Amino acid sequence: MSRSAEQKIRLLVLYDILHKETDAEHQLSTNELIERLATYGIQATRQTVYDDIEMLNSFGYEIITVHGRNNRYFIGDRTFELPEVQVLLHAVGAAKFLTEKKASVLTEKVAELLGEAQADSLKELLTVKSNELGNERVYYSIDAITTALIEKRKLSFLYFDYDGRGNRVYRKEGERYEVNPLGMVYSGENFYLVCFHDKYDNPASYRIDKMEDVQVEESKITRKEQFENFDLNAYKRETFGMYYGEKADVTLFFSPELLDVIRDRFGDIEPKSDGSGYIANVTVRISRIFFAWITAFEGKVKILEPEIVKEQYKSFIEKIYQSLE
């Protein structure tokens, strides 16, 4: 093997060692790097380590040198920092549609973004919950949906509900749905496909874990003017529980302690204080889920306007009372 080829291999192995084993709290000395390289059958000297570190830095890799009688080194710049990886790992652990096996595999892959020491300490703090309802089909359905979105193609799939015994009951008597995908959103611990049908002008949403045999069709999506600049974030803010309804501008009153809750739900709003609470104008999709959300605050959130929505909410409450008789 030529000297040039040996150096390239040594550089690759050296970077892999630094990437896996070092961070600001876990550094390796020059001698330790020479020993690590030797386990791969690669001979190195103090000078070759110095030269290789310098070359890695010249390639754009940030290898920090802590100068001393025996220099120490660690990776200074990672694509993801520890807190960012922690957020990703918690998201994996909380995803109820993932099986325990798939969640464990994803946890290992995400943890590889860190050095081994940080990854091991972080994984000790996390537990992957056992989820008997999770299924890996969701993972592959998301992959198909992503392909359709990128290639701007239609999707087809079967869609089902569960009966009282937990058996699947397919909608449309098992006939396939064919839709034009707009995107995916995560709401209420579930992923949803947001899309529209050729013969309808309103968007629709389907829980991805209840979709089966998702296929990317050859036909391109149908273009409709109202969906050219569709805002998924706005759709998610306006829609409660992903139940679609008539869009309305609603004025709400809410108690002061709910300010953060309202902002978390509706995003960047500018509520006005009236002394006893706040008043805010929000855009929502009117549905039973929206009314149930209002009711859950036991009078601390009230609909002020418009009158037609107040009447609809009143009717919703009256039906609840009637069901208790």
Q: Which residue spans within the chain are E strands per DSSP?
A: 28-29, 63-66, 72-75, 153-162, 168-170, 177-187, 190-196, 203-207, 211-220, 246-254, 272-273, 278-286, 301-305
Dist. CA 158–CA 130, nearest whole Å: 27
**Alpha-carbon span 5 to 261, nearest angstrom:** 60
Give the pLDDT score at 17: 87
Determine the 3-state secondary structure of 73 from DSSP.
Answer: strand
58: helix, strand or coil: helix
pLDDT averaged over consecutive 10-residue blocks of the chain (325 residues)?
65 83 85 89 88 84 85 77 65 67 72 66 54 66 91 94 83 93 82 89 88 94 83 77 75 90 80 87 87 90 93 90 80
Structure tokens at 196: 């529209």
Contacts of 259 (CB under 8 A, 6+ apart): 271, 278
Residue 107 confidence (pLDDT): 72
Q: pTM for this one? A: 0.56
Q: What is the pLDDT of residue 137?
A: 81
Residue partners of 231: CB distance under 8 A and separation at least 6 = none
Give residue 14's pLDDT.
87
Residues 82, 88, 90, 93, Cα dihedral to 10°:
-130
Predicted pLDDT of residue 133: 46
